[in-house]
Amino acid sequence: MTMGGLNKLLRRGDDAVLAVYDLELTPGPLVDFDVARTTVLDLRMELRKELRRVIVEGLKAHDIYDQLTSRVRAILEPKSGSAFWNLGVSLLRQNVTLVSDELLLNDVQRLLPNNPWPIGIHRMIASELGISNKLAFNAISTLLIDGRISKPETKETDS
């Protein structure tokens, strides 16, 4: 069974902590499977955040965390999605393929909640519209760049 994004769970920029996961998962509030039950769905990134928290707590409980280098500890610190929204428009344009499909842009704009946006909103919209995460991300970025929507706040959900 696969779960997208696990390769980035313990990564910050180019730095990463290599890990192997052996998980026994059953459906529940944080765990959902695709129809074929071959992929764990984690659209709101709650399971990945919880897994990261458990890994760090385990390292601390076994007095390993304090022995890690500061570089490794920095990788293990909780991530915040707010760094993206501090980018200027010129940086966004370098990393985004602007979307010209007006129907898609209207659909994406209609699905955007009022502030604050949860982290990973593009994944939720992608799932709702049946499009790729990248296309949803690019559509949201296009709306931001065009000034059709305001720069959003983000919120960390409690896990």
Question: What CA–CA distance (Å, rounded) separates 10 from 23?
Answer: 16
Domain segments of the chain as ranges: 6-76, 82-155
In the block, residue with structure tokens 């409690």: 158
56-113 pLDDT per residue, tens: 999 999 999 999 998 888 888 765 444 444 444 455 455 567 788 889 999 999 999 8
Residue 83's pLDDT is what?
A: 45
In the block, residue with structure tokens 């984690």: 42
Q: Are 144 and 151 in contact, with CB atoms under 8 Å apart?
A: yes
Q: Are strands 32-33 and 40-41 parallel, antiparallel or unpaired?
A: antiparallel
115-133 pLDDT per residue, tens: 788 878 899 999 999 999 9
